[in-house]
Amino acid sequence: MDSSATPRASDAELANSLRALAMDAVEAAKSGHPGMPMGMAEIAVALWRRHLRHNPANTAWPGRDRFVVSNGHGSMLLYALLHLTGYDLPMEELQRFRQLGSKTPGHPEYGYAPGVETTTGPLGQGFANAVGMALAEKLLAAQFNRPGFDLVDHYTYVFMGDGCMMEGISHEAGALAGTLGLGKLIAFYDDNGISIDSDKGQIRFWYTDDVPKRFAAYNWHVIPNVDGHDVEAVDKAIRKAKREGKKGSKARPTLICCKTVIAKGAPKKANTGAAHGAPLGAQEVAATRAAIGWAHPPFEIPPAVRHAWDAREAGKKAEKRWNALLKKYAAQYPAEAAEFQRRSAGLLPEGFDETAKALVEDLTQKAETLATRKASQNTLEVLKPAMPELLGGSADLTGSNLTMAKVSRTVMPGVAEAGNHIFYGVREFGMCAIMNGIALHGGFVPYGGTFLVFSDYARNALRMAALMKIRVVYVFTHDSIGLGEDGPTHQPIEHAASLRLIPFMDVWRPCDTVETAVAWTAALRRKDGPTALLLSRQNVVFSKRSNAKDVERGGYVLSDAEGARAVIIATGSEVPLALAAQKLLRDSGLPVRVVSMPSTSVFDRQEANYRNSVLPRELPKVAVEAGVRDYWRKYVGLEGAVVGIDRFGESAPAGDVFKHFGFTAENVAQAVRSVFG
């Protein structure tokens, strides 16, 4: 220890070091958001210096507290904290804030700087991610902790601003967190009365919620009126929040409402909208330095301040203590310990491949005609007992999405027993952002259901899962006009195509029980992104295939014809239709091949030889899918044809609607004939 040689840094200096790094990095980048880091600096000091349990040397330590900056425009606050506490984020990275190839992009991006737990920036979602992390912690603790062994026992802390509070998703996620009593979730509200339009006026013209009352109504433990610039007051609130977290089944999540001043310390720009998202300017930066008494040049941190921030030694000790606990736990509960480690590492259970193979063989042999949503449930009946990390749920459509299997147990408020199926309520966006948090926490693979048409409600959370490349599975049922009578509001038209446009999202629209099982196993094997399963409400006839292994390639020759002169590409419930058209054409002397294409992205990743062998360049092509036509042009070209729907649907029995929109064998056959001109 060299603390005798260096004077002890005060909390004010620690807070000012965060202010200086934020304003200097934004100045260097000529863009960014200095206001939030300068306004939340003391809150960060209280939390990171006195409470946060973390080890900068090991960002994968399962026992660490989770910390999320939901108001992600304040990214420089997080980068400064990670740098100062000893993460592998050197000062040069802060100097390259917002530059190409740096680890310090404009908003915190998962997988860039070590210690960034989730990607934030789309306001409100970080908060929902934190709810997911706290929920994962609670369920994992219920599954693995044993008397005297609190192996899973950490807090989830989240910073949020007015923007997060205004977003609807904070209502969805906050309400569920309160209902489920996620006591170890501690949120800090940066109540500064400023959001972007405050440039032109005051936040009170568009935002007058009584936030403490709102969260109290959700069953939160609310600590109102905390001076966010008083480290002692914030510290006291955190201690109170942590005590709440220890109340077991009675615990509630805590909201600490901190009154703060945006860009605190800047003589002219503090408490102005101007400080939200633009550099302060050289003059104001110099004036701030003088006002807060920070005499050091940009990006220079005095040794005493550095020393005080350094969390490496304490972090190492904290992890060591936890490792000792794990070791004792392993001695007493070897199977549980091994399972905990497997799940924390995100590895599939031993024997997964054999289970998957046996399942596909069984389904091939049974050759059942079922709705693919039912096929999905049957798949879960086999996979769930083999994979206890599968944490299911539905946004109030459990009986329609068929997300529960026999081993499913409802996650109940206030009940210590571990559940594995979450009734998310009618909260699609909340559900999907919470699933992201669950996946990021580790120990679980979340899946959740709603109608495909309502994937729009959740859309940005799907995009964030893809952006972060995390393993999340969406069970989107009622995948086309085939849902029938509920009509155009419920009939997805553009959804399959638009989900396919999200990079790193795998979309599967399986045509029968075998394709559904393969889609599920592909989703679970994936380690680099989310998967959307688009499943039918109505029964789909089983399609016989020569080799079920082909399905894994995303697109394959389902039924060939000697001397085929054209190819019909179909997905999901339109596959049997393609086969019927093939028969009609054969009878009229036109042999055609039928390709089933359950996943275009998976097919696109196959080597060129394979793709060309399935879709020979020289053969004309016709695609059939009950959705918008445009997407299929990339396979059929301008000279091919698409049997699709370029308008909204109709309310009527499924058979009538399909017929009305031309999904008949005769019409598909006619489309094939048409490409010969």
Ligand X SMILES: Cc1ncc(C[n+]2csc(CCOP(=O)(O)OP(=O)(O)O)c2C)c(N)n1
In the complex, least distance from residue 39 CB atom to Mg ion, rounded to whole angstroms:
8
Nearer to ligand X, 195 or 378 (CB): 195
What value, to the nearest 5°, has the Cα angle with vertex 570 and ends 566 and 574? 125
Q: Considering the rule CB under 6 A, would residue 162 count as an interface residue with ligand X?
A: yes
Is the separation of the CB atoms in 214 and 245 below 8 Å? no
The per-residue DSSP string of 372-430 comes to HHHHHHHHHHHHHHH-TTEEEEESS-HHHHT---TT--B--TT--SPPSEEE--S-HHH
Q: Binding to ligand X by residue 194, rule CB under 6 A?
A: yes
Both structure tokens of 321 = 């203590």
β-bridge partners, 350: none
Q: Which does 276 bind (CB under 5 to 8 A by kind): Mg ion, ligand X, none?
A: ligand X
CB of 122 to Mg ion, least distance (A): 16
- From the list Mg ion, ligand X, none, partner contacted by residue 253 (C-beta under 5 to 8 A by kind): none
Kindly tell me which of 15 and 370 has the beta carbon lying closer to ligand X.
Answer: 15
Both tokens assigned to 49: 């210096």
CA angle 590, 566, 568 (to 5 degrees): 105
In the complex, minimum distance from the CB of residue 236 to ligand X, in angstroms, rounded to a whole number: 24
Show the site string, 60-89: x = touches ligand X by CB under 6 A, - = not: -----------x-x----------------
Q: Does 595 sit near ligand X (CB under 6 A)?
A: no
Contact range with ligand X by CB under 6 A, out of 115-123, 226-234, 531-539, 657-665: 115-123
Closer of 24 and 191 to ligand X (Cβ): 191
Q: Looking at beta carbons only, is 278 or 287 nearer to ligand X?
A: 278
For residue 641, what is the enclosing H or E element? strand 641-643
- Alpha helix (H) ranges present in 195-230? 211-217
Is residue 262 a contact residue for ligand X (CB under 6 A)? yes
389 is catalytic: no
> Going by DSSP bridges, is the β-strand pair 185-191/254-259 parallel, antiparallel, or unpaired?
parallel
Which residue has its beta carbon closest to Mg ion? 162
Question: Of these partners, ligand X, Mg ion, none, which one is at the site of residue 36 (CB under 5 to 8 Å by kind)?
Answer: ligand X
3-state secondary structure (DSSP) of residue 645: coil
In whole angstroms, how close is the CB of 196 to Mg ion at the nearest point? Answer: 9
Asked if 170 touches ligand X (CB under 6 A), the answer is no
Give kind and range of the element (H or E) at residue 254.
strand 254-259
Please, which residue, 32 or 245, has the CB nearer to Mg ion?
A: 32
CA 437 to CA 435: how far, in whole Å?
A: 5
CA-only gyration radius of the chain, Å:
28
55: partner contacted, choices ligand X, Mg ion, none (Cβ within 5-8 A by kind): none
Number of residues forming the site for ligand X (CB under 6 A): 19
Residues contributing to the site for Mg ion (CB under 5 A): 161-162, 192, 194-195
Strand, coil or helix: 501: coil
Q: How far apart are CB 161 and ligand X at their closest, in Å?
A: 3
Q: How far is the CB of 186 from ligand X (least distance, A)?
A: 18
Min separation Cβ 161 and Mg ion, Å = 4
What distance separates the 2 farthest-apart alpha carbons in the chain?
95
How far is the C-alpha of 12 from the C-alpha of 412, rounded, in Å?
44
Answer yes or no whether residue 509 interacts with ligand X by CB under 6 A.
Answer: no
- For residue 123, the partner it binds in Mg ion, ligand X, none, with Cβ less than 5 to 8 A by kind, is ligand X
Residue 507, H or E segment: strand 506-508
Comparison of 256 and 305: residue with beta carbon closer to Mg ion: 256
Query: Considering the rule CB under 6 A, would residue 279 count as an interface residue with ligand X?
Result: no
- CA–CA gap between residue 434 and residue 170 (Å, rounded): 11
Q: Does 192 bind ligand X (CB under 6 A)?
A: yes
In whole angstroms, the minimum distance from the beta carbon of 127 to ligand X comes to: 11
| Catalytic residue from among 428, 515, 552, 574 | 428
User: Which stretch in 91-99, 194-202, 451-459, 483-491 sits in contact with ligand X by CB under 6 A?
Assistant: 194-202
Residues 569/633, Cβ–Cβ less than 8 Å: no
Cα separation, 193 vs 259, in Å, equals: 9
The yes or no reply on residue 168 touching ligand X (CB under 6 A) is: no
- Asked if 122 is part of the footprint of ligand X (rule: CB under 6 A), the reply reads yes
Segment interacting with ligand X, rule: CB under 6 A, options 46-54, 121-129, 481-489, 599-607: 121-129
CA distance 489 to 495: 12
Q: Which residue is nearest to ligand X (CB)?
A: 161
Minimum distance between the CB of residue 34 and ligand X, rounded to whole angstroms?
10
Contact flag: residue 196 with ligand X (CB under 6 A): yes
Burial (CB < 10 A; 0-12, 13-18, 19+), residue 282, is exposed
Is 572 in contact with 511 (CB distance < 8 Å)? Answer: yes
Residue 161 found at the interface with ligand X (CB under 6 A): yes
**Does an H or E element contain 576, and which?**
helix 575-587
Asked if residues 434 and 176 have their Cβ atoms less than 8 Å apart, the reply is yes
Residues pairing with 473 in the sheet? 447, 531
Q: Which residues bind ligand X (CB under 6 A)?
A: 35-36, 71, 73, 121-123, 161-164, 167, 190, 192, 194-196, 262, 276
- Give the residue numbers annotated as catalytic, written as ranges: 428
